[in-house]
């Protein structure tokens, strides 16, 4: 970041992402937040928040590196919907028909879709089952499917698993049923999506209807 940028930090459409991320802690030290001087104990928390916001925009595949202005409300930052999708991506479908109740953001890099227990869950694209079993990290019964072009998807909190590791699945094959196993507060599908090993927002790829 150039020295002159410290006079008016904010938006830079030509920023190098790594530079933008590395300057966040420095901006916290120099500027105020919400019109008040930062206290030492609050700085690490704010840095983490700012880093999270920056990585959120990276997950959105945006070409713009953003750092909040001094005194800005993090909840009012614009949501950029510039998605880079290759024409060679698999044909995606929604795994269940319900509405999304919790969307993708930096502290919840997945989407949650409430459905009654026992509702069939379908893969978002054709692929091969890489994992089907109990997850010890809170996801309960979990199915992971590897798709073409570097994509994979995780279906968590299932009540029942209907596939085995190594089996090939198509859009028409139910892979499990919705449930609330693991660390879940209610019956819903927790869907994670990866592109080349990086978490991405499923709503940027799935059909809207």
Over residues 179-188, the pLDDT tens digits come to 999 999 899 9
42, two tokens:
């609050």
| Per-position b or e across 123-155, b if 16+ CB within 10 A of its CB | bbbbbbbeebeebeeebbbbbbbebeeebbbbb
pLDDT given at position 184: 93
* Mean pLDDT of the 102-122 span: 94
* Mean pLDDT of the 132-145 span: 97
Pick left, alpha or beta for residue 78 (phi over 0 → left; psi -120 to 50 → alpha; otherwise beta).
Answer: beta
Cα distances (angstroms) measured from residue 190 to each of 97, 127, 133? 13, 19, 15
Over residues 8-46, the pLDDT tens digits come to 444 444 444 445 555 555 555 544 444 444 444 444 555
State whether the Cα torsion 119-120-124-129 is positive or negative: positive
Residue 167 confidence class, pLDDT cut points 50, 70, 90: very high
Quote the pTM value: 0.61
Over residues 66-95, the pLDDT tens digits come to 444 444 444 444 443 434 344 446 789 999
The domains found in the chain, sorted by start residue, are 3-76 (no CATH), 111-204 (2.70.70.10)
8 A C-beta contact, residue 204 and residue 85: yes
Higher pLDDT, 134 or 106: 134
């Amino acid at each position: 970041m150039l020295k002159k940028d410290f006079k008016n930090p904010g938006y830079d459409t030509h920023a190098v992402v790594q530079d933008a991320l590395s300057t966040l802690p420095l901006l916290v030290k120099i500027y105020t937040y919400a019109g008040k001087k930062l206290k030492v104990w609050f700085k690490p928390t704010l840095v983490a928040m700012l880093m999270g916001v920056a990585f959120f925009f990276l997950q959105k595949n945006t070409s713009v590196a953003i750092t909040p202005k001094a005194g800005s409300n993090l909840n009012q930052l614009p949501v950029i919907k510039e998605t880079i999708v290759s024409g060679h991506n698999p044909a995606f479908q929604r795994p269940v028909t319900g509405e999304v109740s919790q969307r993708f953001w930096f502290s919840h890099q997945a989407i949650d879709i409430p459905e009654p227990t026992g509702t069939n869950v379908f893969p978002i694209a054709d692929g091969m089952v890489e994992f089907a079993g109990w997850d010890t990290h809170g996801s309960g019964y979990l199915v992971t499917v590897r798709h073409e072009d570097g994509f994979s998807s995780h279906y968590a909190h299932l009540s029942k698993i209907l596939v085995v590791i190594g089996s090939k699945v198509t859009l028409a094959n139910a892979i499990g049923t919705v449930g609330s196993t693991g660390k879940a507060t209610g019956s819903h599908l927790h869907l994670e999506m990866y592109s080349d090993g990086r978490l991405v927002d499923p709503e940027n790829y799935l059909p809207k209807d």
